[in-house]
Structures are given as structure tokens and as C-alpha cells.
């Protein structure tokens, strides 16, 4: 069995959960079968397992509107994925960036196509801010790929329900395989010098956010919640890679206002920091917060839990399958149960509720320690990349018969 993984993100170019997923899935699959990765970038590893090839495109001559450059650049790279001969038994796609490449491989090389749904375009309408009319294309491309796939992997049961509701795909083709974590890498690790390097006071307990500046991650809602936190609470925002210049400005204005309104340090780390430093931040934080308004799974929650830090998260998507309320953290109601929950958000109410959950845990360090231990136990028992790779290989073998 040989698997070909097509992806935008792959180390060292990882900025989101999908990239983390492909990184560790490729590593663990390579223990079980032959793996090739074709990705966006300059990566190149031959005579190894996984074998890795990066593909780039020159968009400097494009005269199309700027928001469309990433769309057309992705299509060019997907075409290039296929002009190099493919000898895999199955092609496995990750995010819309790779979908056109998978469709070409299935149709031209006659191999089965698997697609992992890390998120769904119809549930991310704010992407129009980033892609303009390209968003309509990505919605169509995703729908076409999902409905053509020989198997679809959902990263949570709620995502599976969304797929069956939104697309014309047979139930038996949609399988739930969770994301995972490497508990040997993500383990409690303490180093106050890392905190001081980033302007964090080691003597003051802090609540932590890690993620991109995007509507989906709800970061601005958390920043707006800071004014409701208990006086003296230290807030650390490890937030970079803004989707658009507009949301970057919105974030800057919100952080400036929070620093005026809150009696406590607000530290904003604007770069995406290295994994070992991120692990130190998770480990030192008293509470981790995931304020996402749409989250099919949420690997960052596993990362925090593996470092024995309790999570205050929004009660959406796969986070309801990760966080056990009262045991490993708290879930904050986001909105009424509507078809499009993000349209029902009451920003002031949500910000207040986020702050209430954070305050509840920040006030009780003993409870946080208890929840942290329970969180790591849950990660070890439920979210192993080795098991995820075995389940994925079994699915490959089934559709390749």
C-alpha cells in the first residue's frame, strides 16, 4: 500500500490544525506503509518514508484581483502535483487547496480518493473577506470533491453530521477519525526564560490563547472579554497570521482598548512561535481559552490538555467531543442551535460568558491542577496518532480492494 497525501501545509510551513494533522499522520502512516507527500513550498526529501516534494507557483505576473491570487496559485500547484507521475494506490486530500489535485489524480490516474474534512467552506462565510469571488469557487470545488470521493473522513461526529446535511454523499462513505496528539512531545515543560523572552511575568497566573487571527477562531471575542476578567489577571495572546489587513487592524484596536480597560498585563505575541516554546506557554498557563465560533475539531485543545492545562472553550463542533465540562475544563454556550450558529452570536453576551468561565477557573488553582491531570489522562486514552494512522490505513485498504 502506498498513500499520496496532497496538502497546502507541511513542515516547516504549518500555520493551522490541518498542517499539524498531515505532519503527524504522515509520520505515523510511514510506520505502516509507504507514504508520499506533495505540498505547497520548497520541501524536498527523496529516498525516505515519507517522501516529500514541495511545489511553488509564481503569481507575480497575475493581473487578477489580489484576493484571487491564492486561488489560482493553488490550482496551478494542484496541476503540477499531477504532471509528475503518480504511482500511489490511494490519494488523500487535505483542505480545499488540494482538492483540484485529488480530482485530477482520481480521474487521470484511476486511483481511489480519500478526503479529510478539516473544515467546511459553507460554514465559513467570512472567507469571502479573504478570497472575494474566489470563495464561491472554493465552495463549489469542495462540494465537487466531497461528492466524488470514495471515502470522506470527518474529524468529529458533528462534522460528519454537517457533511451529510450539506452534501449529496452516502452515509456509509463518511467515517469519523479524530485528530490526535504526540504526548511525548506535548508534555508539561517549564522554562521561565521563555516566558520572560516574550514579556510574560512568571509570577502572575495567566490565561492563554494560541491561534491565527481569523473570524473562525473567535480571537476578537476573547479580546473583548478581557475587560470582564478579574483585576490583575494576566492575558497572553499568541496570535499571528491575520487572514486580512482589515481583521489585523480590528485586532490591534481591540487589544489597545483592552489594555486601557483591564487592570492587568495583556501580552500579545504577534509571531507564530516555535513548537517547543508553545509547549512551555501551555504548561505555565493556568487556563487555556479556545473562543472559536466554528471548530470542527480543535487540535490546540489537545495540545493544552496534554500539557495539563484546563480549557475554557466554546460549545461548538468537535470541542464538545474533546472537553469534558467540569472534568477537563468548561464549555461556554455560543449561540442558539441554529443552522448557522455564528450568525446568532450576541458579542457582548458571549464576551461576558467567556470571561465568567475564565474567572471561575483562574480563581481556583487547585481545581485547575485537578482538571489538568484529568485532561492529560483523557488525551493519552483517546487521541493517539498511532491509532489514527491504523484506522486510516484500514480505510485505504477497504476502498482500494
Domain range 2-180+384-399, its CATH number among 3.40.50.2000, 3.40.50.620, 3.30.450.20, 3.40.50.2300: 3.40.50.2000
Domain ranges of the chain: 2-180+384-399, 192-382
Query: Is residue 19 classed as helix, strand or coil in its secondary structure?
Result: helix
Give the separation between CA 314 and CA 323, rounded to whole angstroms: 10
State the pLDDT at residue 176.
Answer: 97
Confidence (pLDDT) at 343 = 57
- Strands (E) in 168-305, as ranges, are 174-176, 206-212, 234-240, 266-269, 287-290
pTM: 0.86
- How confident is the model over 343-382, as pLDDT tens digits? 567 888 899 999 999 999 999 999 999 999 999 999 999 9
Query: What confidence score (pLDDT) does residue 241 get?
Result: 85
C-alpha cell at 292: 472559536
CA–CA distance, 131 with 67 (Å, rounded to integer): 5
Q: List the chain residues with pLDDT less than 50.
A: 336-339, 341
For position 339, what pLDDT does the model report? 47
CA triplet 318, 319, 323: central angle to 5 degrees?
Answer: 130
Q: Is-same-fold flag (2-180+384-399; 192-382)?
A: yes
Q: Does the structural domain 192-382 have CATH classification 3.40.50.300?
A: no
Distances (CA, A) of 98 to 3, 25, 58, 196, 373: 15, 16, 17, 40, 38
Which residues are within 8 A (CB) of 386 and not within 5 positions of it... i.e. 6 or more apart? 28, 31
The pLDDT of residue 304 is 98
| Cross-strand bridge partners of residue 2 | 34
Q: Are 379 and 302 in contact (CB under 8 A)?
A: yes
Q: To the nearest 10°, the Cα dihedral for 120, 109, 5, 163? A: 20
Question: In whole angstroms, what is the distance from residue 27 CA to residue 237 CA?
Answer: 30
* pLDDT digit string, tens, across residues 148-188: 999 999 999 999 999 999 999 999 999 999 999 999 999 99
The sign one gets for the Cα dihedral 366, 370, 371, 373 is positive
Amino acid at each position: 500500500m502506498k498513500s499520496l497525501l496532497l496538502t497546502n501545509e507541511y513542515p516547516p510551513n504549518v500555520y493551522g490544525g490541518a498542517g499539524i494533522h498531515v505532519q503527524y499522520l504522515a509520520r505515523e502512516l510511514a510506520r505502516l506503509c509507504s507514504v508520499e507527500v506533495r505540498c505547497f513550498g520548497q520541501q524536498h526529501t527523496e529516498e525516505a518514508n515519507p517522501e516529500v516534494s514541495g511545489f511553488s507557483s509564481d503569481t507575480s505576473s497575475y493581473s487578477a484581483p489580489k484576493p484571487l491570487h491564492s486561488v489560482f496559485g493553488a490550482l496551478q500547484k494542484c496541476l503540477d502535483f499531477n504532471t509528475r507521475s503518480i504511482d500511489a494506490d490511494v490519494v488523500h486530500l487535505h483542505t480545499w487547496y488540494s482538492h483540484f489535485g485529488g480530482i485530477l489524480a482520481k480521474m487521470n490516474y484511476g486511483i481511489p480518493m480519500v478526503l479529510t474534512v478539516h473544515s467546511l467552506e459553507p460554514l465559513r462565510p467570512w472567507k469571502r473577506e479573504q478570497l472575494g469571488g474566489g470563495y464561491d469557487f472554493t465552495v463549489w470545488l469542495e462540494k465537487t470533491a466531497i461528492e466524488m470521493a470514495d471515502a470522506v473522513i470527518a474529524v468529529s461526529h458533528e462534522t460528519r453530521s454537517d457533511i451529510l446535511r450539506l452534501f449529496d454523499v452516502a452515509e456509509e462513505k463518511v467515517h469519523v477519525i479524530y485528530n490526535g496528539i504526540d504526548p511525548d512531545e506535548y508534555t508539561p515543560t517549564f522554562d521561565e526564560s521563555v516566558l520572560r523572552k516574550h514579556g510574560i511575568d512568571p509570577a502572575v497566573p495567566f490565561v492563554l490563547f494560541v491561534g491565527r487571527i481569523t473570524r473562525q477562531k473567535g480571537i476578537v471575542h476573547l479580546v473583548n472579554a478581557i475587560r470582564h476578567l478579574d483585576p490583575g489577571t494576566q492575558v497572553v495572546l499568541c496570535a499571528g497570521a491575520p487572514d486580512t489587513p482589515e481583521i489585523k487592524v480590528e485586532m490591534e484596536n481591540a487589544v489597545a482598548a483592552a489594555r486601557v480597560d483591564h487592570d492587568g498585563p495583556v501580552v500579545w505575541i504577534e509571531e507564530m512561535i516555535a513548537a517547543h516554546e508553545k509547549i512551555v506557554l501551555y504548561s505555565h498557563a493556568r487556563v487555556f481559552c479556545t473562543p472559536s465560533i466554528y471548530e470542527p475539531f480543535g487540535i490546540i485543545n489537545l495540545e493544552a490538555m496534554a500539557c495539563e492545562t484546563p480549557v475554557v472553550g466554546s460549545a461548538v463542533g468537535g470541542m464538545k467531543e474533546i472537553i469534558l465540562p467540569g472534568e477537563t475544563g468548561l464549555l461556554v454556550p455560543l449561540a442558539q442551535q441554529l443552522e448557522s450558529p455564528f450568525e446568532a452570536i450576541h458579542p457582548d453576551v458571549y464576551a461576558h460568558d467567556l470571561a465568567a468561565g475564565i474567572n471561575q477557573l483562574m480563581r481556583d488553582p487547585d481545581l485547575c491542577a485537578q482538571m489538568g491531570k484529568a485532561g492529560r489522562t483523557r488525551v493519552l486514552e483517546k487521541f493517539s496518532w498511532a491509532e489514527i494512522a491504523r484506522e486510516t490505513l484500514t480505510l485505504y485498504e477497504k476502498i482500494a480492494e
